[in-house]
Amino acid sequence: MQGRLALQLALAASLAVAAASGLSAAAPEPPDPGLRPYPGQMNVAQSDYVEHCGGCHGIGGDAAPADLPTLKGRVGWFMCLPEGRSYLMRLPNVARSRITDNDQLADLLNFMVFGLGGGSAPAGAKPFTGAEVAAVRVSPFTSVSLVQTRTVLVEQVIRKCGAPASLRLMYPGQKAAPKATKAG
Ligand code: HEC
């Protein structure tokens, strides 16, 4: 218990430092004023996200009502299980990203889960490292396996971590859950 608390305090402190250094470096305005500080290099990760992911997912991580998952305020839930971490790194658009530098891709993912994800990442979740990304991105999902993988994973995240039931949907308020048989 004590170790976990210490970890949370250490994370809170490092987030505070990241926030302070971001301010002193006169970082450009984040795309969404609701963004929270996150570990990693703020400016590079954010613009990488906008360039490589924002066209589909929206620069603030919310593309609803387009039929693809909202990242804002909820993508951090996947960090609560090892399978969820791995899921994020094995997504085709992540694993096969044109960003070949694994530290840079880890920073982008950290921006996504801790920045766009806001409070959805569990307290004490460890940031991605380049070494971790390098080891896992060599096994990307195919788009055929992706929907089924997400369906199974989301049930675990809801049951074991207490994520909201709306995680089953692409975005809260979506009319119908995606069909497991359809290739995504
Ligand atoms: C060409 C459009 C496109 C681009 C570019 C793209 N994505 Fe996606 N992304 C999707 C679609 C579509 C899905 C849903 C996949 C499915 O379930 O079939 C998805 C799923 C995801 C998910 C899963 C979220 C969840 O709730 O399951 C994450 C995380 C994600 N993308 C992150 C990224 C990141 C990070 C990048 C940039 C490196 C990126 N995406 C680039 C279209 C895109």
173 domain-assigned: no
Most confident of 41-55, 91-105, 143-157: 91-105
184 domain-assigned: no
Q: What pLDDT does residue 3 have?
A: 52
Q: What pLDDT does residue 169 have?
A: 94
**Distance from the alpha carbon of residue 15 to the mean position of ligand 1, in angstroms:** 26
Q: Which residue's alpha carbon is at the smallest distance from atom 16 of ligand 1?
A: 184
C-alpha dist (Å) from residue 93 to 15, 47, 156, 176: 27, 16, 23, 24
Structure tokens at 182: 């359809």
139 domain-assigned: yes
CA dist., res. 53 & res. 71, Å (int): 11
Mean pLDDT of 124-147: 93
Percent of the chain at pLDDT > 70 equals 72
- Domain count along the chain: 1
**Distance from the alpha carbon of residue 93 to the mean position of ligand 1, in angstroms:** 6
**Distance from the alpha carbon of residue 111 to the mean position of ligand 1, in angstroms:** 15
CA dist., res. 82 & res. 94, Å (int): 17
178 domain-assigned: no
Q: Which residue's alpha carbon is at the smallest distance from atom 3 of ligand 1?
A: 56
Q: What pLDDT does residue 144 have?
A: 77
Q: What pLDDT does residue 180 have?
A: 53
User: Which band of pLDDT confidence, cut at 50, 70 and 90, is reported for residue 15?
Assistant: very low
13 domain-assigned: yes
Instruction: Determine the structural domain holding residue 15 and report its residue range.
Output: 2-168
100 domain-assigned: yes
- Give the pTM: 0.80
Q: For the domain that residue 63 is a member of, what is the CATH number? A: 1.10.760.10
CB 85 within 8 A of CB 133: no
Residue-by-residue DSSP string for 108-160: HHHIIIIIITGGGSPTTPPPP-HHHHHHHTTSPPPHHHHHHHHHHHHHHHHHH
Q: Which residue's alpha carbon is at the smallest distance from atom 39 of ligand 1?
A: 53
182 domain-assigned: no
174 domain-assigned: no
